[in-house]
Structure 1
Amino acid sequence: MTSPADTAAHRAPRTGASRPRADALRNRERILTAAREMFVEIGPDVPFDDITRRAAVGNATLYRHFPDRAALIHEVVLSVMSRTTERALEAAAEEADAFQALRRFTHAAADERIGALCPMLSGAFHRDHPELDAERTRLEQAVVALVDRAHAAGRLRPDVAVGDLLVALSQLTRPLLGTACPDIDRFVHRHLQLFLDGLEAPARSELPGAAATLEDLRRTPR
């Protein structure tokens, strides 16, 4: 199974002979980590100076790896999606109970903060970066497999679909804009657990409306 470090090394750009490759990779990972944290906390327009300060690198180092903001956003989102896919595959491989595998993945995806990055994935951004579509497809397939397995085992209520899980995950892991509570993250796993308890079969109530599918999530609003 591919590790985050292996994934980063595979995607890392070539560096000049005067700079050791291991040092360049460490700097690149520091930048991606700092950018991910600050995109979540502040948004994609956070000043580059703030990112380099948190990453403890210079502006020249950031621009050497990422020539513009779009390139940095692309790599941050791609790395988060890739890691989240790996968490789904690990849960499927290591958990014997189908619902526990789904539960483990959901909490792991929350730790990756994938919901907070969803607003960056506009239609135009995807068209410019087909690599993101490929990684999104890989992630969706991994999550669909978890949901299908839980349904087949009778552990997941039959009136929910993968879209329901992804919508809730996105909503519950985004920071609350304008909130006066600076430590809102401490509630994320608590509320996810409440949500997951409601997904277990047998169902305790009848849900209004229809289950959300991946096609529903992809549909462009009119």
Structure 2
Amino acid sequence: MTTAASVQSRAPRMRADALRNRERIIAAAREMFVEHGAQVPLDEIARRAAVGNATVYRHFADRDVLMRQVVVSVLDRVTDLAERAVAAADTAGGDPSAELRRFVHAAADERIGALCPLLTAGFDKDHPDLIAVRLRLEAVLDALLERARTAGRLRADIGVGDLMIALSQLTRPLPGTACSGIDRYVHRHLQLFLDGLMSPAGSVLPGTAATLEDLRQRA
């Protein structure tokens, strides 16, 4: 009898060079989505990745597939960072607010601005791969924010969506600019943003705290 496991065991494994090309394409697309937006030409992505156009299409049937893989890759890496921050906050003597700050700066270095396709009309935000990783990220970020809140260090009117919006906006260069050395400004402005998250709050925020589901529905 043929089982799913036996079928999977017979499926050809991706060659090491093909896997490296795939990862190079995703990494190049991630950088270019941050710099130029999700509609950057695929041939430009191929050039940045130092592969041919045919190689891009061999791994990704169309732009939508590539965009989804970039988003999933970034979300996975950022979620791993958040899980490590929660674990560190839970250790003896752990400081949740310090771990939150470390997480935000580390997430910026993962080019979280590459999540811009989530705000693109027509992008399938309900794809099963995205739902799974989004729920995982929201759960762990909720845990991190709650720990900082319980410690009395985080203002009460902040949600996961607020954090993600700020991260996405503050880690992208201004439209139409090369912004050489942008990282030093990114981390400076993120630090200003983080100071605004801390308790006691200096003002009352308009509106309500945002969740990732709010962002998905409004995009």
Q: 5+ residue gaps in structure 1? A: 1-13
Deviations 1:117-170 (A, max 9, x none): 234444642356221122111111111110011111112122333333223222
Instruction: Supply the distance in 1 between the matched residues of 2:161 and 2:62 (Cα, whole angstroms).
Output: 33
Instruction: Supply the distance in 2 between the matched residues of 1:217 and 1:45 (Cα, whole angstroms).
Output: 20
Alpha-carbon distance change, 191 to 66 in structure 1, aligned in 2, over 3 angstroms = same
**Which residue among 166, 174, 178 is the counterpart of 1:176?**
174
Asked if 1:26 is matched to 2:20, the reply is: yes
Alpha-carbon distance change, 31 to 15 in structure 1, aligned in 2, over 3 angstroms = farther
What's 1:142 paired with? 140
User: Cα distance, 1:28 vs. partner?
Assistant: 0.7
8 Å contact from structure 1 (residues 78, 132) kept in 2: yes
Instruction: Supply the distance in 2 between the matched residues of 1:43 and 1:127 (Cα, whole angstroms).
Output: 17
Asked if 1:69 is matched to 2:63, the reply is: yes
What's 1:206 paired with? 203
Instruction: Supply the distance in 1 between the matched residues of 2:214 and 2:18 (Cα, whole angstroms).
Output: 42
2:190 is paired with a residue whose SS is helix
Residues 156-165 or 69-78, more deviating: 156-165
Count of equivalent residues: 204
Question: What's the C-alpha RMSD, in Å, of the aligned pairs?
Answer: 2.4
Higher RCO (CA-CA < 8 Å; seq separation 6+): 2
Residues 45-54 or 117-126, more deviating: 117-126
Normalised to the residue count of structure 2, the TM-score between the two structures is 0.82
Instruction: Give the partner amino acid of 2:131.
Output: D
Normalised to the residue count of structure 1, the TM-score between the two structures is 0.81
User: Cα distance, 1:181 vs. partner?
Assistant: 4.4
8 Å contact from structure 2 (residues 125, 216) kept in 1: no
State the identity as a percent: 62
Deviations 1:78-125 (A, max 9, x none): 101111111101111124111011111111111122234234444642
1:208 is paired with a residue whose SS is coil
Asked if 1:83 is matched to 2:46, the reply is: no
Q: 5+ residue gaps in structure 2? A: 1-10
What's 1:103 paired with? 101
